Amino acid sequence: MAIFRAHEVRQLSDVELAEQLEKLKLDLMQARGKVSAGGAPENPGHIREVRRTIARLQTEQNARRAVRQA
């Protein structure tokens, strides 16, 4: 799954932003399930990076929502 930086997130459309957010949430759920089942993650920092990317996407969504309401 792609890890986005802030400048990349700003270039996404609203629809792309929502799609990527759903994909990353699914990826996070699968990674957490694998760890909770006792499996070792392939990349230990992957969960952290996915969580941060989800936060970036949600921050941009909230900023766009605030601009529309103002």
The closest of 62, 45, 53 to 9, measured between CA atoms, is 53
Q: Is residue 1 part of a domain?
A: no
Q: Is residue 13 part of a domain?
A: yes
The pTM (predicted TM-score) of the whole model is: 0.90
Domain that holds residue 63: 6-69
Q: Is residue 27 part of a domain?
A: yes
Residues in the chain: 70
| Cα separation, 27 vs 47, whole angstroms | 9
| Cα separation, 31 vs 18, whole angstroms | 20
Which residue reads 């792309």 in tokens?
A: 16
Along the 70 residues of the chain, how does pLDDT read in single tens digits?
678 999 999 999 999 999 999 999 999 999 999 999 988 778 889 999 999 999 999 999 999 999 999 8
Q: What is the CATH number of the domain that holds 10?
A: 1.10.287.310
